[in-house]
Chain A
Amino acid sequence: MTTQDEGSSQGPSRRKVLECMTWAGTGVLWTVAGGVPKSLGIIDQAVAQQSKGFTFLQISDSHMGFDKPANPNVKSTLEEAIGRVKALPQKPSFMIHTGDITHLSKPAEFDDAERIISQARLDVHYVPGEHDLIDEAPGKLYRERYGRGTKGAGWYSFDADGVHFIGLVNVVDLKAGGLGNLGDEQLEWLEDDVKGRSASQPIVVFAHIPLWTVYPDWGWGTQDGARALGYLKKFGSVTVLNGHIHQVMQKVEGNVTFHTARSTAFPQPAPGTAPSPGPMKVGDDKLRTMLGIASVTFKQNEQRLAIIDTPLQS
């Protein structure tokens, strides 16, 4: 499968062309190459190439505490996901978790997540999902654990290997009838955070709910996401990583690559294919093909980024 940015033929010289191909039937490999479209050729070569870059991992939607038929044992599937991380031949630099660590924001659920995820022995950068902020004093438990050094409801940025990472919170103060929400305070912070940065610095934005509108009927989008992306227009490489929808989706628009990760807990239906976005019950033999993790690699000098989604079982 190949997706091209259709609007880019008149676009700026830095336009990116994105190639995507199935990877041994178990995942999807993406590459974004500056200028000339470039096929990665055979899979083994692609994997060998990407293993030389700076790599980090994304996990999402662990939902510790969920015990319904769609997956009565979310701890064991998270453990399997972390097992995959530990088995990687090259140790990633760190992990990001794009929210819904817990199902009901209970202390024991946060504790379970911490106990399992820490076995990867990697730094983890979190953003909250809506399920992480429903304790009695909303968000208190999340902020106690993960809020250090963050602003507002938990947003922050940091640099790693020349890449600027921005963790955003779009799950608080949601408006009736609306979608995910960033809010003025956070948007102003974002504008200020990227001001003065070189347009050639790669940007990675991560947040729980997709920043782009995936399916508004199910609330899968962020009301003021376009304003956030407006502040990132000048950058040649922007990667937006989200969770929330428990399935892999991707889109490229100009210099921006959007990508959502699988959950480690339970799958959700493709947009519009079910009466609601609720947890999807699949056969036991199929569940692990629909859960998983993602790894992201930058090869800075070649302006190349690759995202590989790996299910727990192929």
Chain B
Amino acid sequence: MKALTNTVFAGVAALFLLTGTPAAAEEAAVKIGNFTFGPKDLKVKSGTTVIWTNEDDIPHTVTSTTMAFKSKALDSDDKFSFTFTTPGTYQYFCSLHPHMTGTIVVEAATGSNVPPPK
């Protein structure tokens, strides 16, 4: 199994330091299998870190249609994570197999003030 790949963790950690918001570190998982994202549509609270894991024998990517986030090519068992801090609808696809699409809907976190991203 490959090391957890990402530049994103460093960015997230830096954000915590800057904002002083340790957040309840909510996580949500998306499995990539059989050339599909599962669940295809996922609703999360703002501040949630979504972790994608490639369970196929073929590499895939997680690529936002607006380039809000983009993984490198994920080999089998590789992971990619991204923390969503801004409410909204994020569409994404696999840039290698573009018929693979998914959506993350980010809702405002209730009961707390989540600082907007810079």
Contacts and interface: CB of A to CB of B under 8 A. Distances in A.
Interface of A: 66, 68-70, 103-105, 130-131, 134, 136, 174-179, 216-219, 275-279
Interface string B51-91: 00000111101010100000011011000000000000001
Contacts of A66: 57
Interface stretch (B10-18, B39-47, B95-103, B107-115): B95-103
Contacts of A105: 73
Contacts of A275: 34
A279 B56 CA distance: 9
Nearest to B33: A276
A177 B65 CA distance: 10
Contacts of B73: 104-105, 134
Contacts of A279: 57-58
Chain B interface size band reads: 20 to 34
Q: Mostly helix, strand, loop or mixed at chain A's interface?
A: loop
A176 B56 contact: no
A127 B73 CA distance: 20
Contacts of A278: 34-35, 56-58
B52 to A, nearest CB: 16
Interface in B1-47: 33-36
Contacts of A276: 33-36, 56
Contact of B98 (A104, A131, A175): A175
Interface centre among B36, B58, B92, B100 (most CB of A within 10 A): B58
A219 B99 contact: yes
B96 A218 contact: no
B101 A134 contact: no
Given A104-B75, A276-B56, 18 more contacts: A68-B57, A70-B57, A104-B59, A104-B73, A130-B96, A134-B72, A134-B73, A174-B98, A176-B92, A176-B93, A176-B101, A177-B98, A179-B98, A216-B99, A218-B35, A219-B98, A219-B99, A276-B35
